[in-house]
Amino acid sequence: MTRTREISAFLKQAGWPKAQRIPLTGDAGNRRYERLHDLNQGNAILMDAEPRLGEDIRSFLKISQHLLNCGISAPKIFNQDISLGLILMQDFGDELLYKTVNDAPNLELQLYRLAIDVLNQLHKSPPPKEVGSYFPPEMSKALATTLPWYCNKGLSQEIQKEAESSLRKLDWSNPVLVLRDFHAQNLIYRYEQSGLAQMGVLDFQDAQLGHPLYDVTSLIHDARRILNPSVVSLLLQELTKTYRGQDDFKYAFATLSAQRNLRVLGVFSRLCLRDKKPSYINLIPHVWNNLWKDLSHPLLRNLSKICESLPTPSPSFLEGLRKNG
């Protein structure tokens, strides 16, 4: 059966056979999304995560239920077919945090505080069972599989070794569930709701056990948007006061963020070179700037020294990536 027929049969079985289907912009993976509109039932979202392309929706379903149990706004699941990789779920609308704060900068501090409140709520609950780990060995492996797309393998290995050494100095004694892609394009402002329900969470299928500050770094050092510096300063001041880990907050934040930004340099390069998605190249200079903010921490001087050998994302370097993609 063709994919088109599989989806049609799924929608018929789910009770949405005649819904209008509108394709939506997907993410960096192989998942596809459609908005369904039915005159009687309203809107829903179809996730098409084809197993033949390496997708597996079981993690999404598991984490979605966990978030709901924690009192966090994840989309409710209306129907699913694990073997086909199809999910019919609640539609949170189009008001991405990214769009909201770009259109209304005066809301940035308020909504980013709310996003951090969501993380605090998540961290209060024990993580679900049988979830993978994102500790220094796994974070080092993530660098090994991505950074060589941005620089030569020898330099990548040197960076990987020093980054893992820095990560191991952090306090990993109280891991929490980290969503790993917690940023403004995966958060929805549900203005008609109240409290934590105002912040809808998307794209959490890669969640694992990790450091309590990891998702905070991906939110504040967002690879896709530049936050107002005064907002960043206020958020970091507030986080420093409330952080209960044994690490120095600034060192932990810089170390975790540096690893993420190094990995993202490789991910965005791979998306261009391997997956033929050149638009991600435009984001590399911003990621580079975030990285060097992290590397300015005095305790990361060794990693900073090694990273000086990374190619600077000059216009000519970026053009080379585009041409080879």
Q: What is the CATH number of the domain that holds 17?
A: 3.30.200.20
Q: Which of 54, 89, 124 is the last residue of a domain?
A: 89
Query: Could you tell me how many residues make up the chain?
Result: 325
pLDDT of residue 247: 74
pTM (2 d.p.): 0.94
What single-letter amino acid sits at 114? Answer: L
pLDDT of residue 242: 86
Whichever domain contains 130, its CATH number is 3.90.1200.10
Give the residue ranges of the chain where pLDDT is below 70: 1, 26-28, 246
pLDDT of residue 325: 77
Q: Are residues 85 and 107 in the same domain?
A: no
E-only strand ranges, the chain: 20-24, 32-38, 42-48, 77-81, 86-89, 176-178, 187-189, 199-201, 208-210
pLDDT of residue 28: 62
**Do residues 185 and 200 touch, judged by C-beta distance below 8 A?**
no
What is the DSSP code (8-state) at residue 205? T
pLDDT of residue 27: 65
Minimal CA–CA distance to 267: which of 208, 194, 201, 321? 321
Number of domains in the chain: 2
Q: Are residues 39 and 129 in the same domain?
A: no
pLDDT of residue 26: 67
Q: Are residues 151 and 200 in the same domain?
A: yes
Domain extent for 289: 97-324
Q: Which of 50, 73, 89 is the last residue of a domain?
A: 89
pLDDT in tens, 241-290: 888 776 799 999 999 999 999 999 999 999 999 999 999 999 999 999 99
Q: Are residues 75 and 159 in the same domain?
A: no
Minimal CA–CA distance to 187: which of 286, 49, 125, 95? 95
pLDDT of residue 144: 97
Torsional sign, CA 161, 163, 168, 174: negative
pLDDT of residue 299: 96
